[in-house]
Amino acid sequence: MALIIASGCSVTRGIRKDQAIVRKVVIKGVDKEFSEMALNYVDKEVQPNNWLNLQIYYTFSKKGKRSIGEAPAILDSNLVDFSRDQIQKFLVNKGYLKAKVTDSIGIKNRKATLYFTAQQGPLFHIRNFRDSIYDPKVRQIYRNTRNLYTHVKPGSRFDTDSLAYDRDQFYQEMKRNGYFDFYRQYITYTPDSNWNKSVVDLVMIIDNPPGKSAHPVYTINNTLITIARSNGRTPGMADTLQVDSQFRFVDFSGRFKPRTVTDYIFQKKGEIYDIDKQTMTTSRLSELNVFRNVPNPTYEKLADSTNRLNSKIDIVPLKRMSDRVEAEFLFNGGRYGYNLGNTFTNRNMFKQAAALQLKLNWSILFDNGFAGTKGIQNQDFRIGASLIYPRIILPFDFPNLAKFGVPHTTFASNFQLFYQKGLVERRSFINSVTYDFFETFRKQHSITPISIEFSNGTIDPIAKNELLSQNRYSYVYLIGRTTFTSGSQYTFQYNANELNSYKNFIYFRGNLDVGGNFLALVSKLTNSPKDTLGHRTLFGYTFAQYVKTEFDYRWYRSLGGERQFIFRINPGIGIPYGNSDQLIFEKNFYAGGANDMRAWLPRTLGPGNFNRASYGVGGAADTTRARLKYLDQFGEVKIVANAEYRYKIADNFFGSKLKGAFFVDAGNVWRLHKQADNPNGEFSFGNLWQSTAIGIGTGLRFDLSFFIFRLDAAFKFKDPQFTGSDQWVFFKHMNELFGGGPFKTKYQQTNGDNYGFMQLNFGIGLPF
């Protein structure tokens, strides 16, 4: 059997007897700084295969019909010679002007190793550098800006890549300063090398245009905007408007007002041509998410001597309506659940690129466990409508904040219905106005000056009496009261634009939520009545006062290719004060789920060292525990940390790119103070480690470009509901990971529930 498996997985099983497969490339004699880069100059067809990708190719590919995985890298002496020449050119470009590279091939059992040996020779440096620029204005721009970007100066490596970089940077500077007709070819470098001393004297020359004494500077004249139909065609009549002295607007779709486009054209009449403003125009119009094709503006010189440019922008709109479905599935032992979402979007309300979004979300959790908990345990239904304008809407004039990104004003209304079996129904209704804008390319602000929330709960009468008889009034008050609040929120994000890249960067998101202060002021000024608990009321309802903040800090590090390491820490705290003794139900923190503590189902971790066995066993205790399931494990304090290693497995796995991940999650939620209902659930720095949960796991990501489908398997490693060494459940009870035993039997007897070591999470998108 072992021989069959070994034979089936052989890397040579798919090639002919007279062929060899390349399994290794060795490059010798190259400086460590460039050795990894030199490997990139070995032709792709003779670079060693990833073993798994190769096995996928052998197993699933059909010759002439489909290709999945990686075809074997067959040895080809011509490609080896070509690779040798490319490596030698690379070394010469890096300043080793005398470099020579030789190649050789070793073959054993139809497996080839390629050897490339370099004789680098001396590294050439720049001894002297000067410029020769005939246009005095161009010379002044060059000398004023070159220190901002140059890699070329006396003593530096003579590197043709650095010369190309400097040339491109100055080309961009010229394009920012009105030189529409300037080309890279005007810039040349003349090196004079001293072969024996390994130095180069370098002259940078910028020529004038043929037949001219200087480079012309161009200014912007008129702009023609043409919007086609969604199919890209421009037939028949169109809405045509002369907007002002610069803009002429032609709309064949009949769906847009001129301001929708002109607000995001940054090249104004009379200004000098600026390539950055051209790029900014294209980027912002694309970010409106109503246009399918927004090419760069085109320019035409006027047939006179004024050096003016007429510009033209041709746009194709997206279809007006779209619909997106999202789903997530969770599984742990006998408990499972799913989250379904649907978003309908009308992209162009009122002909102003305002987006109307209607969102539906339904979360449901099933339990086939014990103590009468079979069936649906809880449901969370949400419906919301948002009207999103691509500008800041205020009753007074406000500067255009679109330099680094499109600003938005969002008017939103959301309704939520939460149902817990045999316990409560809670309804909440939230209305808000939010402004989003970019301070810089990396810094984004979101301000919600007004958010009005009304919520009320209806407790099952039997459950209410049972809770009161056990002196669990805090739960009755938390889930059964009617309250409202008026608050404000502020969110700051840094580097959100980098989240899908493989760069080294940090991401930060911070949120501050403050509620009830204005209502508290009104109640004091009006001397509003108090309820039986001594809390002020307005319009007959108690209002909430609180402050809540949460942070999300992530550290992304590229490990080469599509390998990446991410560390994330996500703390938060909510503090009730003034007119409130505890946070309202919707403002508390919960742990577990597909995006933080993945080894636990949502709402099943913490708080702190709280163990639901404290309810006791039998009778009313079992009934109370069943009723409060998924509801009694919350906190005002949250700390979650995640570490995840991501890597690529296969480039082509049934039409998707297959990636993998290993991860560790650590954290919990805690009560702010000691609570009789949650013994050992309070936050304490001295008990932080003992009350921290740890989960480990691995996952697969199927990257289909337009979305990522994710499957994660997570295992409880350290469970804080136990004490001492019993917390290390993964090690202590490893023999019961996938079966029964005394540990699981005892847990079921004392907690009235199955203990699940593993949780499967199916979802769309990355967890963070």
Check if the beta carbon of residue 754 is closer than 8 Å to that of residue 640.
Answer: no
- Taking the C-alpha atoms of residue 597 and residue 592, their distance in angstroms, rounded to an integer, is 4
- pLDDT of the residue at 235: 82
Tens of pLDDT, residue by residue over 568-581, are 999 999 999 999 98
- pLDDT of the residue at 137: 97
Instruction: Count Cα neighbours of 757 within 13 Å in the Cβ-side half-sphere.
Output: 18
- pLDDT of the residue at 638: 98
Check if the beta carbon of residue 202 is closer than 8 Å to that of residue 151.
Answer: no
- Per the prediction, the chain carries an average pLDDT of 91
Mean pLDDT of 672-684: 93
CA dihedral 60, 66, 68, 72 (to 10 degrees): 90
**Angle, CA of 374, 377 and 379, to the nearest 5°:** 145
When pLDDT is cut at 50, 70 and 90, the band that residue 507 belongs to is: very high
- pLDDT of the residue at 181: 93
Mean pLDDT of 360-365: 91
Among the residue ranges 213-217, 219-223, 369-373, the one predicted with the least confidence is: 369-373
Location of structure tokens 């989250």 = 339
Mean pLDDT of 104-116: 94
Backbone dihedral region of 654: left (phi > 0), alpha (psi from -120 to 50 degrees) or beta?
left
**Angle, CA of 7, 13 and 18, to the nearest 5°:** 135
Q: Say whether pLDDT at 7 is over 60.
A: no
- pLDDT of the residue at 765: 85
- pLDDT of the residue at 63: 64
When pLDDT is cut at 50, 70 and 90, the band that residue 182 belongs to is: very high
Tens of pLDDT, residue by residue over 131-159, are 999 999 999 999 999 999 998 999 999 99
DSSP state of 296: P
Q: Say whether pLDDT at 180 is over 80.
A: yes
Smallest CA-to-CA distance from 695 within 327, 332, 373 is with 332
Which string of DSSP letters, residue by residue, matches 349-414? ETTTTEEEEEEEEEEEEEE--STT--EEEEEEEEEEEEEEESS---SS------SSS--EEEEEEE
- Taking the C-alpha atoms of residue 512 and residue 491, their distance in angstroms, rounded to an integer, is 6
Please give the single-letter amino acid code of residue 707.
F
Q: Say whether pLDDT at 267 is over 90.
A: yes
Q: Say whether pLDDT at 750 is over 50.
A: yes
Please give the single-letter amino acid code of residue 386.
S
pTM of the model: 0.83
Mean pLDDT of 80-94: 96
Tokens at 420, concatenated = 């817990």
Check if the beta carbon of residue 405 is closer than 8 Å to that of residue 287.
Answer: yes
| CA distances (Å), origin 300, targets 174, 240, 258, 578 | 18, 21, 22, 66
Check if the beta carbon of residue 737 is closer than 8 Å to that of residue 574.
Answer: no
Please give the single-letter amino acid code of residue 379.
Q
- Taking the C-alpha atoms of residue 241 and residue 225, their distance in angstroms, rounded to an integer, is 10
Mean pLDDT of 536-549: 92
When pLDDT is cut at 50, 70 and 90, the band that residue 3 belongs to is: very low
Q: Which residues pair with 380 in a beta bridge?
A: 363, 418
Tens of pLDDT, residue by residue over 315-342, are 999 988 989 888 878 776 667 788 899 9
Fold of 321-764: Porin (2.40.160)
When pLDDT is cut at 50, 70 and 90, the band that residue 10 belongs to is: confident
Mean pLDDT of 350-373: 81
- pLDDT of the residue at 372: 47
**pLDDT > 90 in the chain, percent:** 67
DSSP state of 610: -
- pLDDT of the residue at 333: 60
Location of structure tokens 């954290």 = 667
Mean pLDDT of 464-479: 85
Q: Which residues of 697-732 are buried (b: 16+ CB within 10 A; e: fewer)?
A: bebebbbeeeebebebbbbbbbbbbbeeeebebbee
Mean pLDDT of 528-551: 92
Count of H-run helices and E-run strands, the chain: 14, 30
**Angle, CA of 546, 476 and 425, to the nearest 5°:** 90
Fold of 2-119: Ubiquitin-like (UB roll) (3.10.20)
Among the residue ranges 338-352, 362-376, 465-479, 687-701, the one predicted with the least confidence is: 362-376
Residue 260's contacts (CB-CB under 8 Å, 6 or more residues apart) are: 288, 290, 351, 352, 353, 390
Among the residue ranges 476-490, 614-628, 675-689, 730-744, the one predicted with the least confidence is: 614-628
Tens of pLDDT, residue by residue over 269-310, are 999 999 999 999 999 999 999 998 888 999 999 989 899 999
When pLDDT is cut at 50, 70 and 90, the band that residue 754 belongs to is: confident
CATH for 125-206 is: 3.10.20.310
Location of structure tokens 């929708």 = 260
- Taking the C-alpha atoms of residue 54 and residue 649, their distance in angstroms, rounded to an integer, is 11
Question: For residue 281, with 0-12 CB atoms within 10 Å meaning exposed, 13-18 middle and 19 or more buried, which class applies?
Answer: buried
**Angle, CA of 299, 305 and 310, to the nearest 5°:** 20
Q: Say whether pLDDT at 639 is over 60.
A: yes
- pLDDT of the residue at 411: 98
Tokens at 537, concatenated = 């009321």
Instruction: Count Cα neighbours of 84 within 13 Å in the Cβ-side half-sphere.
Output: 18
| CA distances (Å), origin 10, targets 44, 109, 637, 650 | 21, 11, 54, 18
Tens of pLDDT, residue by residue over 373-424, are 567 888 899 999 999 999 999 988 888 889 899 999 999 999 999 998 888 9
Residue 87's contacts (CB-CB under 8 Å, 6 or more residues apart) are: 27, 30, 38, 41, 42, 101, 116, 118
- pLDDT of the residue at 334: 65
Domain 2-119 matches domain 321-764 at the CATH topology level: no
Check if the beta carbon of residue 58 is closer than 8 Å to that of residue 89.
Answer: no
Location of structure tokens 């069936």 = 375
Tens of pLDDT, residue by residue over 28-67, are 999 888 988 999 999 999 999 888 778 888 887 766 566 7
- pLDDT of the residue at 553: 98
The residue ranges of every structural domain in the chain are: 2-119, 125-206, 219-317, 321-764
When pLDDT is cut at 50, 70 and 90, the band that residue 468 belongs to is: confident
When pLDDT is cut at 50, 70 and 90, the band that residue 9 belongs to is: low
- Taking the C-alpha atoms of residue 548 and residue 512, their distance in angstroms, rounded to an integer, is 6
Tokens at 725, concatenated = 């060494």
Check if the beta carbon of residue 46 is closer than 8 Å to that of residue 78.
Answer: no
Fold of 219-317: Ubiquitin-like (UB roll) (3.10.20)
Better pLDDT: 378 or 8: 378
- Taking the C-alpha atoms of residue 411 and residue 434, their distance in angstroms, rounded to an integer, is 7
Please give the single-letter amino acid code of residue 665.
D
- pLDDT of the residue at 1: 30
- Taking the C-alpha atoms of residue 129 and residue 420, their distance in angstroms, rounded to an integer, is 76
- pLDDT of the residue at 358: 97
Q: Phi first, then psi: what are they for 710, rounded to 5°?
A: -125, 140
Q: Say whether pLDDT at 429 is over 90.
A: yes
